[in-house]
Structure 1
C-alpha cells in the first residue's frame, strides 16, 4: 500500500531582521530564495522560502521575519534543531566557511555512524549539517558555495519532548513512520530512513518548555502527494482523536495543521502545485508575490514591509 506521508515537506521558523535572514540563508548557506511573499495569516510580515533550485518538497526552509522580535528559547514542545544534508566529504569546507563569517561551530560529532556539525544562525536558530553518502539530490547554489558542497535539502529534524510514547504512536501508527533505532537517548524514525524523511525525538526530562519567538521553529510540515491523499490523512487523524484544521490553501500547496501530543505544531502539506505557478523558474523569488485575496491591498502591504534585496555576491 502506497504511504500517504513520505517525509518532510518544509520547516518554518520565526526570525528577526528580514535582510539578515536573507543574507544568512542565501549568502552563507547558499540556499535559493524561491519565494518572497507574506505570512497569509499576518500579511504585514514577510514569508521567505529558501530551498533548492525549484523549492522541491524536502528542501524548503521557510521563515516569518518579525523586525525587532526578541529571541526565543529552546525547550520542550518544539523542533530544536533542523538538520540539512551535505556530501560525505563536505564538513571541512563548511567548518572553514562558517568560521570565515565568525559563526561558532561545534567540533565534528558522530551520530548513528554519520558525521555532523552543529551551529546557530543570527537568531540562534539550531542548525546541523550531516555528511552522508545516502543522498542522491544535487542541491543548488548561487555560486557562492561550490556545487559539490552545496546543501542538498533536509536531512531531518529533532523534536525535543518531555515524553515520547504518544508522539511515537502518532508517527508510527498514523503517519507512515517506522522506528529506526536509539542512540544515547535519541530515538530515530523515518518513512524510508533516508535524508529528507528523518525525525529524531530527544527526551528533555527537565521539562522546561521552549519560548517561541525569533530563533525558534514555528512548525514542521510533512509531505503528502496531493489533495486526495491529504484528505485521507485528515480523516484518519480526526478519527483517531486529533484536532485537525480544515484544508487551508497556501497557494503553493494546501495544508492541514494539528498539535502532536508533545506540543509541536505539525502540518501536512501537498507536494503540488509548487512554486513555479506564479513566477518563471529562472526568476523565482525576485518579486513579492501575494495571494489573490491580498492583491487589492498590495500598495498598503508593500509599504508596511522593509525593503530587502539579495546580496549574495558579498558572501563569495
Structure 2
C-alpha cells in the first residue's frame, strides 16, 4: 500500500512583535525567510515562513505575529516543543551563540541516545536543537552562521497530552506512523524514524491545559505528496470518524485540517507546488506576496501591517 504521509510538512505558531519574530528566526537561528505573506483567515496579520534555502517541506516553521498579543502558556492539548536538527558536533556552537543573544539555554540533555538543548524564544516558544549524524539535508545560512553548524530542518515535535491512546491510534492506524520507543514516559513515533518525521507524545494526566496565544503552536502539518494523496487521506480519515475541513488553497500547498483526539490541531499539506510559484528562488521572502483574491485590497492590507526589515548581518 502506498504511503500517504511522509512526515512533518510545517509547524505554525502564534507570535507577538513581527520584527522581533523575524530577528530571532532569521537573525539568531539563521532560517531563511522564504515567504512574507498574510494569514489567509485574518488578512490584517502577517504570515511568515522560515525554512531552508527553498522552504522544503520538513524545514518550514511559520508564524502568525500578532503585535501586542499576550503570552500563552504551555500545557496539555498542545505541541509544546519544536525540535530542529543540527549536526552532531554543533551543540557547543549553538550554546555559545544563544547565550550571546541572552537566550537562556538548558544544560545538555540526552533523549533516545541523542544530545540536545532546550530554550525559548522571546515569546516563550519552546524550541529544541537535536544533535545527530543522520540528517543529510544541506541546511541554510545567510552568512552569519557557518554552514557547517546551520539548522537542517525539523527533527521532530513534542505533543503534550493527558492521554496518548487516541492520538497514538490516529498516527499508527491512519497516518503511516509507527511506534519506535518509549523513554521516561515519552512515546516516540515516526514514518521512517529519521529527522523530519519524529513525533513524541509526552503524557501527563494531571497537567493543566495550555492557553493558546503568543509563544504557542497553532497547528502541526504533515506532508503528503500531492492533491491525489491528500484526497485519499481525507477519505480515510472520514471513513474512520474524523471530521476534516474541505481542501483549502494556501497558494504554496493545499491543506485540510482536523482536531486530533488529544486536542492538537493537525493539518495535511501537499508538497506541491512550493514557494517559488510567485517569486524567483533567489528572491524568496523579499516582497509581501498576497493571494489573488487579496490583491484588490493590497494598499489597505499593507497600510495595516507593521513594516519589518530583514537584516541577518546584524546577528553575526
Q: Deviations over 1:211-245 (max 9, x none)?
A: 00000000000000000000000000011000100
SS in 2 for 1:231: helix
1:68 is aligned to: 68
2:243 is aligned to: 243
Q: d(CA) in 2 for partners of 1:203 and 1:188? A: 12
Q: Offset at 1:313?
A: 1.1
2:55 is the alignment partner of 1:51: no
Q: Offset at 1:205?
A: 2.0
SS in 2 for 1:303: helix
2:283 is aligned to: 283
Q: d(CA) in 1 for partners of 2:145 and 2:76? A: 34
Q: d(CA) in 2 for partners of 1:53 and 1:187? A: 32
Q: Deviations over 1:42-93 (max 9, x none)?
A: 0000000000000000000000000000000000000000000000000000
Q: d(CA) in 2 for partners of 1:310 and 1:88? A: 29
Q: Deviations over 1:256-293 (max 9, x none)?
A: 00000010000000000000000000000000000000
Q: Offset at 1:204?
A: 1.6
1:232 is aligned to: 232
2:187 is the alignment partner of 1:181: no
SS in 1 for 2:160: strand
2:102 is the alignment partner of 1:99: no
Report the TM-score, using the length of structure 1 for normalisation: 1.00
Q: d(CA) in 1 for partners of 2:277 and 2:66? A: 27
SS in 1 for 2:23: helix
Q: d(CA) in 2 for partners of 1:53 and 1:207? A: 39
Q: Offset at 1:206?
A: 1.6
Q: Offset at 1:2?
A: 2.3
Q: d(CA) in 1 for partners of 2:38 and 2:206? A: 36
2:194 is aligned to: 194
1:116 is aligned to: 116
SS in 2 for 1:218: strand
For structure 2, the residue ranges without an aligned partner over 5 or more in a row are: none
2:140 is aligned to: 140
Q: d(CA) in 1 for partners of 2:102 and 2:15? A: 20
Q: Offset at 1:153?
A: 0.1
Q: d(CA) in 2 for partners of 1:72 and 1:246? A: 29
2:215 is aligned to: 215
Q: d(CA) in 1 for partners of 2:312 and 2:149? A: 17
SS in 2 for 1:194: coil
Q: d(CA) in 2 for partners of 1:257 and 1:92? A: 38
SS in 2 for 1:272: strand
Q: d(CA) in 1 for partners of 2:243 and 2:231? A: 14
Q: Offset at 1:311?
A: 1.6
Q: Deviations over 1:177-228 (max 9, x none)?
A: 0000000000000000000000000002223100000000000000000000
**Number of residue pairs matched?**
316
Report the TM-score, using the length of structure 2 for normalisation: 1.00
Q: d(CA) in 2 for partners of 1:14 and 1:206? A: 25
2:294 is aligned to: 294
The 4+ residue runs of structure 1 with deviation greater than 2 A are none
**RMSD of equivalent CA atoms:** 0.4
SS in 1 for 2:273: coil
